[in-house]
Amino acid sequence: MSQVKPGWQGRYFEDFEVGDVYRCRYGRTVTEADNIQFTLLTNNTNQIHYNRDYGERTEFGNMLVNSALTLSIVAGMGVADVSENGFALGWDEIVLPHPVFPGDTLYSESEVVEKRESRSRPTQGIVKVETRGYNQHGDLVIRYRRSVMVWKREHAPGLDIFPVPKA
């Protein structure tokens, strides 16, 4: 008889310790199409994100990946480890020290820098992480801090949402 084995369900408040570093298990290559689509979808009119000819004439010699796309990808890569069982409260100190170009592959790691019980929600706690994103060469391309409200394990909403298969 086969058995259903539970997959990764994310961390709960009790699982976080200051100093822990969580590295996303995969990298994500940003394509030119990703960049152009995201830029136009978000109504960004800076041609450096969607006009290759324009980008080649700049000091960068290429189009730049939209910084909001870089933030979105790197933040998304940390969800399984940081906010799978919570929600964001705020973002601080977003720094972009190195450009990202179409074709670059992003990697992400998040370090727990603070952890405390919530004063207003006894069933949850607040975790603050510093997330760092790197390209394939190891260059730091983004760094930020964010605070997340995270459920305590015993109070988390049910995760068993898989439908009952019909026989």
What domains can you pick out in the chain, each with its CATH number?
A: 13-155 (3.10.129.10)
Q: What's the rounded Cα separation, in Å, for the pair 165 and 162?
A: 9
Q: Which phi and psi (to 5°) does residue 99 adopt? A: -70, 155
Structure-token match 């978000």, residue found? 42
**Amino acid in position 148:** V
**With contact defined as beta carbons under 8 Å apart, do 106 and 76 qualify?**
no
pTM value?
0.91
Residue 128: alpha-carbon gap to chain centroid:
13
Per-residue pLDDT of the chain (167 residues; tens, 9 = 90+): 788 888 888 999 999 999 999 999 999 999 999 999 999 999 999 999 999 999 999 999 999 999 999 999 999 999 999 999 999 999 999 999 999 999 999 999 999 999 999 999 999 999 999 999 999 999 999 999 999 999 999 999 876 778 888 98
Instruction: Give the helix ranges, DSSP H, for the chain.
Output: 32-41, 52-56, 67-77, 79-82
Beta strand segments in the chain, E = 21-23, 28-29, 86-95, 105-117, 124-134, 140-151
DSSP 99-112: ---TT-EEEEEEEE
Residue 13, pLDDT score? 98
